[in-house]
Structure 1
Amino acid sequence: MRVAAGGAAALADTAWRGPAVFRAAWTPAHGARRVADFVDHTLLKAEATRAEIVKLCAEAREHRFAAVCVNATWVELSVKELDRAGVAVATVVGFPLGATTRRTKAAEAAEAVGTGAGEIDMVAAIGRIKGGQWACVEDDIRAVVEASGRALVKVIVESAVLTPEEIVKTCALA
């Protein structure tokens, strides 16, 4: 996620101003090719089958999406399916509630990277956010980043259940 200039310090002192805080660098003038560069083609349903994952990867290869995002059980298959395609393989940790422990999230991330994931999408601890336990949220993020080595880590912010202020604070920590 791209954050307004000034980073976390600027956000901490900024009143909520709506979607402008979250504007990406893309405009319609960039065209469809540029849009595909922002797409993580995702299939996270529990009942996903091998055939569905293979299809997901074929679609991502065809459209040259930035990444596929799959559950950890499908990372190795996705890496094989996307070999030399220029499409990253992402997986989720702490999904879907962010309610797992810091150590569990870090272990999930380390295992996923070990099986080939180049990106880790971690769910921020919703209960910790709602309870204002910002140090715990930051410690969770730090643990996953450290466990992920060189892999890109993205923080999933469940904005539907958060206030605007909680969203801004969580983004500042990420």
Structure 2
Amino acid sequence: MIGYVALLRAVNVGGTGKLPMTELKAICEAAGFEGVRTYIASGNVVFGSDLSEAEVKAALEDRLGAYAGKPVGVLVRAAREMADVLADNPFPEAPPNKVLVLFLDTPPEADAIEAVRHRSSEELKRGKRELYVHYPDGMGTSKLAIPAARTGTGRNINSVAKLAEMAAALEQ
């Protein structure tokens, strides 16, 4: 069994995409996933499955779309990959609440960082299927516009660490 982390896009953020975590858990259990656990009410779920990443993503997007009546974007990472995302953080000295990982389905385009607009003190680095963003002055005051974010979803390093820990526990 593989431990997976699924990250939903635009769920329970700013009054949009309301999805109670009890419903998300039930949807995952109905899909046959094992050991399902949610983490904070922003569309994070961890579970085990023998399916491939692509199969997990398709199953969740289908079921969530049926529930919501519209497409719901899902980004999926295996436990090992989530641990690598954490280990590869290019800003390890920065406060974890000021580092965001923008998860993508595919590797960031070569010009993903150059395409960013309204940059001031923020630092960005490309990952394997992620963009890492350090907000030294905090995210709340930033005007940064990241075109790649249209298809991705972000989590701070604190959340990444907890989700990596939860997914790893499923494989033990």
Q: TM-score, length-normalised on structure 2?
A: 0.30
Larger strand proportion of the pair: 2
Q: TM-score, length-normalised on structure 1?
A: 0.29
Larger helix proportion of the pair: 1
User: Rg: which structure is higher?
Assistant: 1
More RCO (CA 8 Å, sep 6+): 2
